[in-house]
Amino acid sequence: MTEQQSEYTGKATMEKITSLAKRRGFVFQSSEIYGGQNGAWDYGPLGIELKNRIASMWWKEMTQLHDDIVGLDAAILMHPRTWEASGHVENFTDPLVDCKKCKTRFRADQIPEENLKAKKCPECGGELTDTRKFNLMFRTHIGPAEDSASLIYLRPETAQGIYVNYKNIIQSNRMKIPFGIAQIGKAFRNEIVTRNFIFRTCEFEQMEMQYFVKPGTDVEWFEEWRKRRWAYYEKLGVKMDRLRWHQHGPDELAHYAKDAYDIEYLFPMGWRELEGVHNRTDYDLTRHTQFSGKDLQYIDQDNNNERYIPYIIETSAGLTRNLLMILCDAYDEELVSGDKDSGGEAGTPGQGGAAVDWRTVLRFHPSLAPVTVAVMPLMKKDGLAELARDIRCELKEDFATDYDQAGAIGRRYRRQDEAGTPFCVTVDYQTKDDGTVTLRFRDSMEQVRVHTNELAGRLRQEIKAYKRIT
Binding string, 287-326, against ligand ATP, x = CB under 6 A? -----------------------------xxx-xx-----
How far apart CA 41 and CA 31 sit, in angstroms, is 8
Specify whether the CB–CB gap between 206 and 317 falls below 8 A.
yes
**Residue 296 Cβ vs ligand ATP, minimum distance, rounded to whole Å:** 22
Site size with ligand ATP, rule: CB under 6 A? 16
**Residue 422 Cβ vs ligand ATP, minimum distance, rounded to whole Å:** 26
Which of residues 195 and 294 has its CB atom nearest to ligand ATP in the complex?
195
Residue 204 near ligand ATP by CB under 6 A: yes
Binding string, 136-175, against ligand ATP, x = CB under 6 A? ---------------------x------------------
Q: CA distances (Å), 37 to each of 30, 388, 446, in order?
A: 5, 42, 43
Tell which one of 88, 155, 200, 411 touches ligand ATP (CB under 6 A).
200
Dihedral sign for Cα 157, 160, 163, 169, please.
negative
Concatenated DSSP letters for 199-212?
TS-SEEEEEEEEEE
Q: CA distances (Å), 268 to each of 16, 54, 363, in order?
A: 10, 20, 17
**Residue 157 Cβ vs ligand ATP, minimum distance, rounded to whole Å:** 6
Which of residues 191 and 357 has its CB atom nearest to ligand ATP in the complex?
191
How far apart CA 225 and CA 231 sit, in angstroms, is 10
**Residue 185 Cβ vs ligand ATP, minimum distance, rounded to whole Å:** 12
The span from the first CA to the last CA of the chain, in angstroms, equals 22
Look at residue 116 and give its three-state secondary structure.
helix
How far apart CA 413 and CA 427 sit, in angstroms, is 13
| H helix runs in 12-126, sequence order | 14-23, 45-59, 81-85, 88-91, 113-118
Query: DSSP assignment, residue 259?
Result: E
Which of residues 257 and 385 has its CB atom nearest to ligand ATP in the complex?
257
Which of residues 206 and 436 has its CB atom nearest to ligand ATP in the complex?
206
Residue in the shown chain whose Cβ atom is closest to ligand ATP: 318
Given the DSSP bridges, would you call strands 179-188 and 203-213 parallel, antiparallel or unpaired?
A: antiparallel
Binding string, 343-362, against ligand ATP, x = CB under 6 A? --------------------
Binding string, 7-46, against ligand ATP, x = CB under 6 A? ----------------------------------------
Binding string, 260-289, against ligand ATP, x = CB under 6 A? -------------xxxx-------------
Per CB under 6 A, residues contacting ligand ATP are 157, 189, 191, 200-201, 204, 206, 273-276, 316-318, 320-321
